[in-house]
């Protein structure tokens, strides 16, 4: 998935809750994925080269700066700590664009593979990833997405990992928030996209299991992502008299919200997701969205980390979206190379789970600290900035946080709380 948001930082209360969530893996073999550790000394020791396929252009280009910043910050810190196996890590950034420019991401991935990268960070959109992931994993290059959440990618390949949790976590958290707010008749406006329908399905099942009803937005009631007019869809969902409405969309959100408000939707009954929990202060009249809520996977980034991201990027960032997850993805790749003793794709793949903490080990939070432990012969448990836990046997995070945000009078989403969700593989 791709997320469209500006993460608002400021005074807010912290409240943690636990969820027991399940996400089944597909076509996953823990032994083949190297979850028992690396093959030290068996691979290349050339300088580690990492590539990125992130949105530098297109409708998702707002995600590019924080994601690129996360990768660059990690590489900066890795090299300041001595690099990987005695060599500095290098990075090559390429564009993913979006699904309307479907040829760009495969071309970018092909170029990176030809240039000899051992790992690719990206893409932001699950649908974009599905356009090129087969070429990457067939080349035995490790791919780590910092933002993909589509359940179809769980256990997709031994060489595909992600530092964002699958939609089962966010969908469950959002649906439970809606139920806890007292809503039982829920309408959903959702685009016909792997991300959108997958998230819708989780929300629908959780609402129905909690005794609620989906009044609109059931399978067959999605809208075309390429549509430019949404009057019919707004009339259809509002015609079912929902007491809450979930909007799952990307750029289309700016067109849909005015129509919903014109149809007398109470903004306090509007719920959004990581794809559109955005800063709309420049788009709508003051207080237009006051009281609306949204969810975004990931722990709240600290002010210190936000500052480090901006310094690495070289200019202020309007958004922190998936910056922490991009940083963690890069750190895990580099640590896996150290753990396995090789900078080639198969060596890195063989140790990704181990350095994430799947086999236990001593906790560490910086590259220098983790390498010191590895050099001493210890197993490690890298503590991710984004709050995700060790990879499970589907190469998904085994647990992650989902942030709950509420819109203020300036139409800015302000963090309210974090829900911790476990994702045991089955």
**What is the tens place of the pLDDT at every residue in 108-156?**
999 999 999 999 999 999 989 999 999 999 999 999 999 998 888 999 9
What is the C-alpha separation between 421 and 108, in angstroms, rounded?
A: 34
**What dihedral do alpha carbons 291, 297, 303, 306 form, nearest 10°?**
-120
* Contact residues for 310 (Cβ-Cβ < 8 A; gap 6+): 69, 316, 317
E runs forming strands in 268-411? 270-272, 293-297, 362-364, 380-382, 399-407
Task: Extract the tokens encoding 392.
Answer: 């499970």
Closest CA relative to residue 94, chosen from 128, 127, 126: 128
* 187, β-bridge pairs: 216, 245
Structural domains of the chain, ranges and CATH numbers in brackets: 29-165+301-393 (3.40.50.2300), 168-297+401-422 (3.40.50.2300)
Which pLDDT score is estimated for 42? 60
In this prediction the pTM is: 0.81
Q: What is the mean pLDDT of the chain?
A: 89
**What is the tens place of the pLDDT at every residue in 143-195?**
999 999 888 899 999 999 999 988 888 999 999 999 999 999 999 999 998 88
The single residue listed with the structure tokens 């237009």 is: 288
Question: Which has more pLDDT, 2 or 238?
Answer: 238
Which pLDDT score is estimated for 194? 84
Cβ–Cβ under 8 Å, residues 237 and 181: no
């Amino acid at each position: 998935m791709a997320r469209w948001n500006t993460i608002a930082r400021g005074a807010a209360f912290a409240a943690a809750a636990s969820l027991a969530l399940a996400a089944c893996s597909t076509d996953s073999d823990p032994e083949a994925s190297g979850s028992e550790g690396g093959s030290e000394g068996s691979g290349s020791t050339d300088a580690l080269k990492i590539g990125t396929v992130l949105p530098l252009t297109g409708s998702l280009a707002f995600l590019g700066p924080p994601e690129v910043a996360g990768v660059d910050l990690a590489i900066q810190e890795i090299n300041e700590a001595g690099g990987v196996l005695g060599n500095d890590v290098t990075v090559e950034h390429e564009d993913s664009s979006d699904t309307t420019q479907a040829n760009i991401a495969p071309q970018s991935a092909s170029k990176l593979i030809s240039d000899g990268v051992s790992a690719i960070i990206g893409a932001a959109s699950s649908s974009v990833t599905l356009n090129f992931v087969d070429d990457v994993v067939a080349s035995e290059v490790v791919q780590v997405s910092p933002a993909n959440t589509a359940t179809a990618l769980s256990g997709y390949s031994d060489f595909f990992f992600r530092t964002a949790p699958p939609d089962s976590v966010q969908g469950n958290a959002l649906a439970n928030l809606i139920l806890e707010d007292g809503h039982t008749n829920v309408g959903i406006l959702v685009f016909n996209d792997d991300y959108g329908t997958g998230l819708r399905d989780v929300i629908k099942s959780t609402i129905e299991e909690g005794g609620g009803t989906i009044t609109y937005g059931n399978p067959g009631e999605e809208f075309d992502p390429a549509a430019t007019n949404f009057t019919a869809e707004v009339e259809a969902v509002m015609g079912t008299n929902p007491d809450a409405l979930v909007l799952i969309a990307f750029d289309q959100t700016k067109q849909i919200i005015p129509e919903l408000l014109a149809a007398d939707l109470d903004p306090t009954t509007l719920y959004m997701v990581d794809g559109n929990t955005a800063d709309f202060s420049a788009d709508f009249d003051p207080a237009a969205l006051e009281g609306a809520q949204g969810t975004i996977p990931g722990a709240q980034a600290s002010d210190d980390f936000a500052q480090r991201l901006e310094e690495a990027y070289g200019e202020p960032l309007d958004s922190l979206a998936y910056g922490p997850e991009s940083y963690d993805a890069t750190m895990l790749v580099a640590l896996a190379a150290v753990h396995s003793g090789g900078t080639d794709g198969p060596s890195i793949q063989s140790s990704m789970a181990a350095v994430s903490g799947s086999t236990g080990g001593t906790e560490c939070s910086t590259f220098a600290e983790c390498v010191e432990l590895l050099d001493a012969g210890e197993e490690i448990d890298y503590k991710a900035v984004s709050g995700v836990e060790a990879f499970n046997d589907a190469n998904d995070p085994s647990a992650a946080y989902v942030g709950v945000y509420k819109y203020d009078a300036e139409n800015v989403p302000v963090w309210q709380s974090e829900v911790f969700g476990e994702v045991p593989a089955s």
